[in-house]
Amino acid sequence: MARNREGLVLLLDVGPAMHDVLPHVEKACSLLLQKKLIYNKYDEVGIVVFGTEETQNELAREIGGYEHVTVLRNIRVVDEAVVEYVKRLPRGTVAGDFLDALIVGMDMLIKMYGAAQKGKKRLCLITNAACPTKDPFEGTKDDQVSTIAMKMAAEGIKMENIVMRANLSGDVHEKIIDENDHLLNLFSSNAIAKTVYAESPLSLLGSLKTRRVAPVTLFRGDLEINPTMKIKVWVYKKVAEERLPTLKMYSDKAPPTDKFAKHEVKIDYDYKVTAESSQVLAPEERIKGFRYGPQVVPISPDEMETLKFKPDKGMKLLGFTKASSILRHYYMKDVNIVVPDPSKEKSVLAVSAIAREMKQTNKVAIVRCVWRNGQGNAVVGVLTPNVSERDDTPDSFYFNVLPFAEDVREFPFPSFSRFPASWKPDEQQQAVADNLVKMLDLAPSAKEEVLKPDLTPNPVLQRFYEYLELKSKSTDAALPPIDEAFKRIMEQDPELSSNNKSIMDSFRGSFEVKENPKLKKTYKRLLRDKPSGSDDEDNRMVTYDNANENKIDNIGDANPIQDFEAMISRRDNQDWIDKAITQMKTRILKLVEKDSIDESDRALECLLALRKGCVLEQEPKQFNEFLNHLYELCRERNLAHFLKHFKSKKITLIPKSEAADSDVADEEAGDFYVKQEPKLES
């Protein structure tokens, strides 16, 4: 096993008390394995279940005991089968002993890799920890756990415990739970072990770190307080967005008979003097230009290179300030963590002293950082203390980037106090709002906090991997619906809402809202959203499956103007604008050709809408050409009343002032009639 590979043993509690949540355990585990197949396909995985009727493990065979622990799969490189396998976990019949399972798992890892192994070894236990553990043959349980933990630490095995604490039924003994929690805690203090309590299927999905990323330092060097006092630190990313894998483009151009076709697509960028010419400029024949007023100023790479800002690598302290002077919303980017160099004891001390004092006095540090040599810019950021609660973890700082003066847009907003009284809540309404903010509580106590970001999985990623699995079996598999568990982040918790029903009702009653009647229909998109709740299922289906529902792709007879407006404002493809304009033109011509007073009114409305659309989308040419064409047409066919209308509504060409691309000057737009008029009368 190479340095960057992982050997993992999943220890899964399948006892009767776990049956409810097992579907979610299966989901979380298969997601973990799927990602391994994509990102870490040389990782090795073993699966152990406990709480089963039968017993099947090596320790039981060798020395006896360890009953009801079954090794489903020995440690092996991940493969397709294991993803399937973990989705069909057996349902156990007896209450399992998680300590037994742990020892079996640890034994497997040690036998497989031995102590000399460099790779990462990990145990992952998922249980509800509600069943009693057996007493050891000698000593206390505490001693036994400490021994196991120390052995694990010595072998370099990491441990992750996920404890399900959802709906514990009445027959569990609190004493047992307390004891088990205590034992798990002992692991934490003696080994690299972490225990997470998941209170819902959602946080169960979130608590298992499904993507293994090897942490890389962004910076190793000095945090400079002044040139004589430096602290050795390492900087890592603390937060980095996990994205969908980048999917490759696929070409279906190769003939189906070609067995060796790679189906790859290459993207080429051609730089041409004019759109028509076929002459392509070589990289050295082009140069970067930047806007300076109306002109574009070329700057050669050499000039740029010699003149540009070249800061030196390093972290420099600028000073300290009150925490309250940095408002939370000024944090600009994902977050870094600054930890002391683990080999420098004094640096660990220095960071500890500053971090603890910062926390004590509510201060933060302002630093200027250049992470790499040759980096084009410096960043100014804030260090906030991250004081460790664990004895074996060094104190550190979080680093957040702060904005520069140029990054702030100073838009003024009216003070709330200056609003008319009808826009402000009265005392009674304020009391109702206070109540809502107090009672719709997601963190009644630190322990009971729900929807922690740290335990909330990404619904889109979850859905992608599920879809991927389905598609791998059948190419035309349907998109799976979003997992039920995610309802918890997408809607209010029904239990919380129903507990606070009276508060919600009074809030609704106190704050009536209504649509602004003065607005046109097309603008009334806001209140269309149906309330969610009991009849929610339908609503969800609507939003998920018929997302295209209100996408108009044709201008119909009934509401041509609305259709046109909807179409032209579609942003999913540039082509829609052209399509909308073309279709609208045809519609207008049709209406004009009908030649009746009635229709000419409608045609005129359509024409106005078209003009508005063309101004908005900056397509003046399209409109101006059409208007000229229309004029000619009317003259030819002698459609006098339409022309009269035309004039009375003062429809003009689109001049430069309305759309920069127009080649019609402001004066000419008005001249249109003057010019055409005599011809008409002649």
Contacting residue, 135, 142, 242, 663, with another protein by CB under 8 A: 242
**Neighbouring C-beta atoms of residue 130, cutoff 10 Å:** 22
- Shortest distance, position 646 Cβ to another protein, whole Å: 25
What one-letter code names the amino acid at 611? R
Return the range that interacts with another protein (CB under 8 A); candidates 134-142, 330-338, 552-560, 630-638.
Answer: 330-338
For helices 560-568 and 597-616, what crossing angle results, to 10°?
Answer: 10
Kindly identify the residues of this chain, within the stretch 439-458, that bind another protein according to CB under 8 A.
440-443, 449, 451-458
Return the range that interacts with another protein (CB under 8 A); candidates 50-58, 161-169, 297-305, 628-636.
Answer: 297-305
- Shortest distance, position 450 Cβ to another protein, whole Å: 8
- Shortest distance, position 181 Cβ to another protein, whole Å: 19
Specify the DSSP class assigned to residue 444: S
Contacting residue, 174, 252, 495, 667, with another protein by CB under 8 A: 252
Return the range that interacts with another protein (CB under 8 A); candidates 19-27, 327-335, 639-647, 668-676.
Answer: 327-335
Taken in order 441, 446, 449, 453, the sign of the CA dihedral is: positive
> Which residue number, 5 or 237, has a Cβ lying nearer to another protein?
237
Kindly identify the residues of this chain, within the stretch 208-237, that bind another protein according to CB under 8 A.
209-211, 213, 215, 225-226, 228-229, 232, 236-237
Kindly identify the residues of this chain, within the stretch 83-142, that bind another protein according to CB under 8 A.
83
51 binds another protein (CB under 8 A): no
Kindly identify the residues of this chain, within the stretch 653-672, that bind another protein according to CB under 8 A.
657
**Neighbouring C-beta atoms of residue 281, cutoff 10 Å:** 13
Kindly identify the residues of this chain, within the stretch 589-628, that bind another protein according to CB under 8 A.
none
Kindly identify the residues of this chain, within the stretch 549-578, that bind another protein according to CB under 8 A.
none
- Shortest distance, position 128 Cβ to another protein, whole Å: 20
Contacting residue, 3, 175, 259, 329, with another protein by CB under 8 A: 329
147 binds another protein (CB under 8 A): no
Return the range that interacts with another protein (CB under 8 A); candidates 54-62, 85-93, 190-198, 594-602.
Answer: 190-198
Residues binding another protein: number (CB under 8 A): 220
Q: How buried is residue 57: exposed, middle or buried, by Cβ count under 10 Å (0-12/13-18/19+)?
A: buried
What is the C-alpha to C-alpha distance for residues 238 and 241, in angstroms, rounded to an integer? 10
**Neighbouring C-beta atoms of residue 343, cutoff 10 Å:** 8
Token pair for 67:
């009953």
What is the C-alpha to C-alpha distance for residues 621 and 373, in angstroms, rounded to an integer? 51
Instruction: Give Rg (Cα) of the chain.
Output: 34
- Shortest distance, position 90 Cβ to another protein, whole Å: 24
Does residue 71 contact residue 108 with C-beta atoms inside 8 Å?
yes
Does residue 653 contact residue 624 with C-beta atoms inside 8 Å?
yes
Does residue 10 contact residue 29 with C-beta atoms inside 8 Å?
yes
Kindly identify the residues of this chain, within the stretch 343-402, that bind another protein according to CB under 8 A.
343-350, 352-354, 356-358, 360-361, 363, 366, 368, 376-378, 380, 384, 386, 388, 390-396, 398, 400, 402
Which residues touch 418 (CB under 8 Å, ≥6 apart)?
Answer: none
> Which residue number, 321 or 373, has a Cβ lying nearer to another protein?
321
> Which residue number, 441 or 663, has a Cβ lying nearer to another protein?
441
What is the C-alpha to C-alpha distance for residues 663 and 654, in angstroms, rounded to an integer? 9
- Shortest distance, position 75 Cβ to another protein, whole Å: 20
314-322 and 6-13 strand pairing: unpaired
Contacting residue, 170, 175, 302, 413, with another protein by CB under 8 A: 413
> Which residue number, 573 or 596, has a Cβ lying nearer to another protein?
573
What is the C-alpha to C-alpha distance for residues 7 and 213, in angstroms, rounded to an integer? 14
Kindly identify the residues of this chain, within the stretch 468-527, that bind another protein according to CB under 8 A.
468, 471-472, 475, 479, 482, 486, 489-493, 496-497, 504, 507-508, 511-516, 519, 523-524, 526-527
- Shortest distance, position 115 Cβ to another protein, whole Å: 15
> Which residue number, 226 or 554, has a Cβ lying nearer to another protein?
226
Strand order in the sheet with 69-77: 69-77, 44-50, 6-13, 120-127, 157-164, 193-198
Does residue 618 contact residue 568 with C-beta atoms inside 8 Å?
no
Phi, psi of 403, deg, nearest 5: -75, 150
263 binds another protein (CB under 8 A): yes
Token pair for 509:
């009653």
> Which residue number, 17 or 183, has a Cβ lying nearer to another protein?
183
> Which residue number, 50 or 576, has a Cβ lying nearer to another protein?
576
> Which residue number, 509 or 556, has a Cβ lying nearer to another protein?
509
> Which residue number, 189 or 638, has a Cβ lying nearer to another protein?
189
> Which residue number, 53 or 441, has a Cβ lying nearer to another protein?
441
Token pair for 433:
């709002």
229-237 and 396-401 strand pairing: unpaired
Token pair for 494:
């029904």
Q: How buried is residue 96: exposed, middle or buried, by Cβ count under 10 Å (0-12/13-18/19+)?
A: buried
